[in-house]
């Protein structure tokens, strides 16, 4: 009999939250006490949700898996494209390496995924509800039979998009995802299940890190994980289930927004989004700006001009050129048509906004928390907890990398992720290489 594995991602829950005495999370604390906790997890760059959840599930950096951010520019079409919300890309056409669930499925494990970024159209997920913001996409791409089963069972799946778009009702989406997971545990018992919770990210953006709303969201998700565990116990599979709780990035405070496209507009380089006459365009990946030169004939001159303009702009920290991208875990600009030509990181307290219909390059930010900074910053460190029959009890291991997650879980399943960038953290397991 194969064991069960559940991988839970709490979007944006930094490891530092566990030092906050006001954070209760009794379920997570119990999993840590009876399992393993890492002393933080370094994420990758850019530290945004679609790129990071792909790194988690493939064990590779964006240079290898190809998901270069939440937002990118297609330089051939001169258009902004969105990994965000699985809007413009599907799993099979954009992730260039095998995922944990591909390998598991090919080896006879049944697989399920709930709201995991970039799973649209995934061939190897038996029960799949991708992470969307549009109801039409949910209706079209969720596993058909499952969608009907959930609806017949009385779960309000027709509300998925509405609840995911509205932060004030975001907890309802996370509740619904939990109910879907419980249904799957009862009716289908998938061997590998992935669940992505969004609320902690949404409320930290809106209300700031350490805010009452942020703490409430983490406690709320903790309760949902408690619900899942109770369901596993009811179905008598808890003792046979390894549970991994991780996050995709941490969070830092922000106060100001840098608007690079306003800057470019003021210098005659940018007109409006998707204009074929744009010479230069930037997209935001949180605290990082990705700038593409669209006027190929004047590439060199424009690159120099843009770099100088950005260097003089308030809030801009380091600027990277193509040759430096591989050291950030990203492909060079000429090796991927979605890759930018210049990347800049904001200073602390700043992030990069999309706004272009105003005259100020710098503005006071509505958002209070952000990610997308370089992953080495302490506040960006994510969390890692492992608990279950394969896992040792009550130990803290040194900081790991988020690309270690997939190889480590695969190893516990007797599987291997070829060409992963991360390593297997063997020290968390009771018996090395032994399948249950």
Nearest by Cα to 294 from 261, 251, 340: 340
Task: Give every CB contact of residue 232 below 8 A, 6+ residues apart in sequence.
Answer: 4, 185, 238, 241
Contact region with Zn ion (CB under 5 A), list: 10-18, 172-180, 329-337, 384-392: 10-18
d(CA 401, CA 247): 11
Q: Cα 85 to the chain's mean position, in Å?
A: 11
Task: Give every CB contact of residue 142 below 8 A, 6+ residues apart in sequence.
Answer: 128, 129, 130, 157
Name which of 248 and 421 has its Cβ closer to Zn ion.
Answer: 248
- Torsion angle, CA of 73/161/165/163, rounded to 10 degrees? -160
- Tokens read off for 234: 């009811």
Name which of 49 and 164 has its Cβ closer to Zn ion.
Answer: 49
Name which of 52 and 391 has its Cβ closer to Zn ion.
Answer: 52
Let me know the angle formed at the C-alpha of 65 by 59 and 70, rounded to the nearest 5 degrees: 105
Q: Which helix (H) or strand (E) holds 285?
A: strand 280-285
Question: Hey, which residues does 332 pair with through a beta bridge?
Answer: none
Smallest gap from Cβ 412 to Zn ion, in A, equals: 24
User: Which x/- pattern over 186-205 shows residues binding Zn ion (rule: CB under 5 A)?
Assistant: ---------------x----
- Tokens read off for 228: 């899942």
404 binds Zn ion (CB under 5 A): no
Smallest gap from Cβ 249 to Zn ion, in A, equals: 5
Q: Which of 126, 131, 222, 248 binds Zn ion (CB under 5 A)?
A: 248
Name which of 149 and 201 has its Cβ closer to Zn ion.
Answer: 201
User: Which x/- pattern over 216-235 shows residues binding Zn ion (rule: CB under 5 A)?
Assistant: --------------------
Name which of 126 and 345 has its Cβ closer to Zn ion.
Answer: 345
Give the up-direction half-sphere exposure of residue 233: CA atoms within 13 A in the CB hemisphere.
6
Q: Which of 3, 11, 146, 250 binds Zn ion (CB under 5 A)?
A: 11
Contact region with Zn ion (CB under 5 A), list: 55-63, 248-256, 309-317, 386-394: 248-256
Q: Closest residue (Cβ) to Zn ion?
A: 49
Smallest gap from Cβ 366 to Zn ion, in A, equals: 19
3-state secondary structure of 42: strand
179 binds Zn ion (CB under 5 A): no
**CB neighbours (10 Å) of residue 310?**
20
Name which of 248 and 404 has its Cβ closer to Zn ion.
Answer: 248
Question: Hey, which residues does 252 pair with through a beta bridge?
Answer: 370
- Tokens read off for 257: 């927004």
- Binding residues with Zn ion: total (CB under 5 A): 5
Nearest by Cα to 231 from 181, 182, 296: 182
Contact region with Zn ion (CB under 5 A), list: 46-54, 231-239, 339-347, 390-398: 46-54
Name which of 200 and 294 has its Cβ closer to Zn ion.
Answer: 200
Smallest gap from Cβ 31 to Zn ion, in A, equals: 21
Let me know the angle formed at the C-alpha of 386 by 45 and 167, rounded to the nearest 5 degrees: 55
Q: What is the CA radius of gyration of the chain?
A: 21
49 binds Zn ion (CB under 5 A): yes
Smallest gap from Cβ 388 to Zn ion, in A, equals: 24
Contact positions with Zn ion (CB under 5 A) in 333-352: none
Name which of 7 and 356 has its Cβ closer to Zn ion.
Answer: 7
Name which of 12 and 46 has its Cβ closer to Zn ion.
Answer: 12
Smallest gap from Cβ 196 to Zn ion, in A, equals: 9
* Residue ranges that bind Zn ion, judged by CB under 5 A: 11-12, 49, 201, 248
């Amino acid at each position: 009999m194969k064991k069960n594995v559940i991988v839970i991602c709490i979007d944006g829950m930094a490891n530092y939250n566990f030092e906050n005495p006001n954070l209760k999370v009794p379920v997570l604390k119990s999993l840590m006490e009876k399992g393993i906790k890492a002393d933080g997890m370094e994420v990758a760059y850019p530290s945004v949700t679609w790129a990071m959840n792909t790194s988690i599930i493939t064990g590779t950096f964006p240079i290898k898996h190809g998901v270069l951010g939440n937002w990118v520019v297609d330089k051939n079409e001169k258009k902004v494209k969105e990994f965000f919300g699985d809007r413009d890309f599907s799993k099979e056409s954009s992730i260039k390496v095998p995922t944990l669930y591909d390998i598991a499925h090919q080896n006879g494990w049944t697989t399920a995924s709930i709201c995991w970024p970039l799973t649209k159209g995934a061939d190897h997920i038996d029960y799949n509800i991708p992470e969307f913001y549009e109801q039409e996409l949910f209706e079209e791409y969720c596993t058909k039979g499952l969608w009907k089963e959930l609806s017949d069972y009385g779960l309000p799946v027709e509300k998925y998009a509405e609840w995911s778009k509205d932060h004030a009702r975001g907890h309802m989406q996370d509740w619904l995802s939990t109910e879907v997971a419980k249904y799957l545990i009862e009716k289908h018992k998938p061997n590998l299940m992935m669940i992505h919770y969004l609320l902690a990210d949404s409320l930290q953006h809106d209300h700031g890190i350490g805010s009452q709303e942020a703490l409430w969201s983490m406690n709320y998700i903790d309760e949902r994980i408690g619900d899942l565990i109770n369901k596993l116990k009811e179905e008598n599979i808890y003792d046979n289930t390894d549970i991994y709780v991780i996050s995709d990035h941490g969070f830092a405070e922000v106060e100001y927004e840098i608007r690079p496209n306003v800057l470019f507009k003021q210098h005659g380089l940018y007109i409006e989004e998707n204009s074929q006459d744009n010479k230069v365009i930037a997209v935001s990946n949180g605290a990082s700006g990705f700038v593409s030169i669209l006027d190929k004939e004047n590439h060199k001159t424009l690159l120099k001009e843009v770099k100088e303009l950005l260097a003089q702009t308030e809030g801009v920290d380091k600027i990277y050129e193509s040759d430096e991208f591989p050291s950030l875990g990203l492909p060079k600009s000429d090796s991927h048509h979605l890759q930018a030509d210049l990347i800049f990181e904001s200073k602390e307290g700043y992030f990069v906004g999309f706004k272009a219909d105003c005259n100020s390059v710098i503005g006071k930010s509505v958002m209070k928390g952000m990610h997308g900074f370089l992953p080495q910053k302490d506040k960006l460190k994510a969390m890692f907890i492992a608990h279950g029959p394969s896992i040792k009890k009550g130990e803290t291991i040194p900081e790991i990398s988020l690309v270690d997650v997939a190889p480590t879980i695969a190893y516990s399943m007797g599987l291997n992720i070829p060409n992963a960038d991360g390593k297997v953290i063997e020290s968390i397991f009771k018996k090395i290489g032994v399948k249950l």
